[in-house]
Amino acid sequence: RGQLHDVAAPDHVGKAPGSMQQGCPQVSRHVPALPVPRAACANIAAAFRGARRTMKVLVTGVNGQVGWELARRVPAGVTLDATDRTVLDLAADDVAARVIARRPDVIINAAAYTAVDRAESESALAHRVNADGAGALARAARELGARLVHVSTDFVFDGSASRPYAPGCAPAPLGAYGA
C-alpha cells in the first residue's frame, strides 16, 4: 500500500492491456481506492530523501489537489518547476518537447482530466490528457534520463479485484475517465 515502484517508460507506454499481467490480482470483488492524496504526497516526498541537493522537479497540475500539496511540501534544496494547464497543457501536441526544454531531473504528473461524468461526453479530450499526455511525459522522461512519477486513479481498473493491483496490471476501465 502506498509504495513507489520503478517502472521503465517503455514497460507501459503503448502496450496492449492484456500484455502486463504478471503479479496482478484475480478478479472477484471491489478493492477501495488507495492511496489518498496525503499518503501519495508523503510517499513521493520520501522518494526525494537522500537525493542530490540540486534536483529540478517538474510538477504538472499544480492547481489540482495533489499538485498543490506536492508544491507546498518541496524538500529544501529541490528546485520546483510547478506548472498548470496554462503553462503545460497535456492535451497539446508539443508536450514532450516543452518538458524536454524545461530539463527536469524528476517529473511528477499530477495533472489529469478529472471530470468523471463529463469524460463520457468528452472522451477524446479525456484520453488526450490522461493517456496521450501521460505518454508524452514518459517519452520526455526517457529522453532526458529523468524519473517520472505518475499519479493516477483507481478508475483505470474495474474494481473487482480481491487484492491491491500491482504496478504492471492491465487496466480495465469501466468508462472514458479511466481509459
What residues are labeled active site? 177
Residue in this structure with the C-alpha cell 517520472, named with its chain if needed? 148
User: What secondary structure does DSSP assign to 36-105, as a single string?
Assistant: -HHHHHHHHHHHHTT--TT-EEEEE-TTSHHHHHHHHTPPTTPEEEE--TTT--TTSTTHHHHHHHH--S
Q: 3-state DSSP call for residue 11?
A: helix
Q: Is 153 left (phi over 0), alpha (psi -120 to 50) or beta?
A: beta
Strand-pairing partners, residue 148, are: 107
